[in-house]
Amino acid sequence: RDDLPLAGRRVVITAGGTKEAIDPVRYLTNRSSGKMGYALAEAALAAGADVTLVAASKRPCSPAIRLVLAPSAKAMLAAVKKAMVGADAFIAAAAVSDFALAKPFDQKVKKTSPDAHLTLDLVQNPDILKTVGQQKQPGQVVVGFAAETENLLENAKKKLTSKGADLIVANDVLAPQAGFDKDSNQVTLVRADQAPVTVGPESKLAVAKKIIQELVRLLDQA
Ligand code: PMT
């Protein structure tokens, strides 16, 4: 049906900024609120999809969205792998920490002396989008984001290839009405076979609806 183009389709979406434990009371995170990923989940649901939203943070959403909370990159990867079995599409809107502590402290870290330094040993986290891109099954569509502060299109095109994505949503996070925690966004849709298309600035839900329209086209071609 034209009004429900994703009816019968299963879509998995990530949202929010992951939290990587330092000790039992502290963590490393970033400025992502989850608004973009939650808006995509609502837009996919409105298009008729069965939606699993793997989110690092909790926000209000339609009860018909299957919400799986996964605070860290490792937890998010495990939840995404499980949800992707038999899924038609993956959209990676989360801001996943590229690094985590090699070994989080078991107890709260204390100041030992007035001039004490603390060095954190960070190791690379798994790349969720790249993992899904590499394991892509025939007919599946993979959409990634690229949060950039410079060379937007160039970096987005690199991510298209390196992450095995069919579409990269390039987000200049320094643009005035775009990026982290804003209610609006402005993005450029980057595909290998088409000229880039700029969307917005407009509400994150309006931007999400246009990304979902592009996903519908990609699924029709897959
Ligand atoms: O949450 P909001 O406050 O609404 O803000 C929205 C947003 C700015 C977070 C969103 O629009 C956005 O740009 N999300 C991607 C953020 C990001 O981490 O981009 P990146 O260029 O570092 O990563 C590229 C892609 O790889 C992204 O799809 C990311 O989800 C994915 N990735 C990155 C690292 C990693 N370890 N695993 C991943 O899956």
pLDDT range class, residue 1, cuts 50, 70, 90: low
Ligand 1 probe mutation, 32, 141, 148, 158, most atoms within 8 A of CB: 32
CA of 40 to the centre of ligand 1 (A): 13
**What's the pLDDT at 56?**
98
| Residue that is written with structure tokens 């993979």 in the block | 142
- Six-digit token pair at 78? 């495990």
End-to-end CA distance of the chain: 18
Among protein residues, the one whose CA lies closest to atom 27 of ligand 1? 145
Average pLDDT (28-46) is 98
- Residues written for the chain: 222
ipTM of the complex: 0.99
pLDDT range class, residue 2, cuts 50, 70, 90: confident
CA of 14 to the centre of ligand 1 (A): 9
Ligand 1 probe mutation, 91, 96, 99, 158, most atoms within 8 A of CB: 96
What does pTM read for this prediction? Answer: 0.97
Residue 3 has pLDDT above 90, yes or no: no
* 189: nearest Cα among 136, 142, 145: 145
Residue 42 has pLDDT above 80, yes or no: yes
Contacts with 212 (C-beta within 8 Å, 6 or more apart), sequence order: 6, 40, 43, 44, 47
Q: Which atom of ligand 1 is nearest to the CA of 148?
A: 21
CA of 86 to the centre of ligand 1 (A): 24
CATH architecture assignment, domain 10-101+123-221: 3-Layer(aba) Sandwich (3.40)
Residue 127 has pLDDT above 80, yes or no: yes
Average pLDDT (180-187) is 97
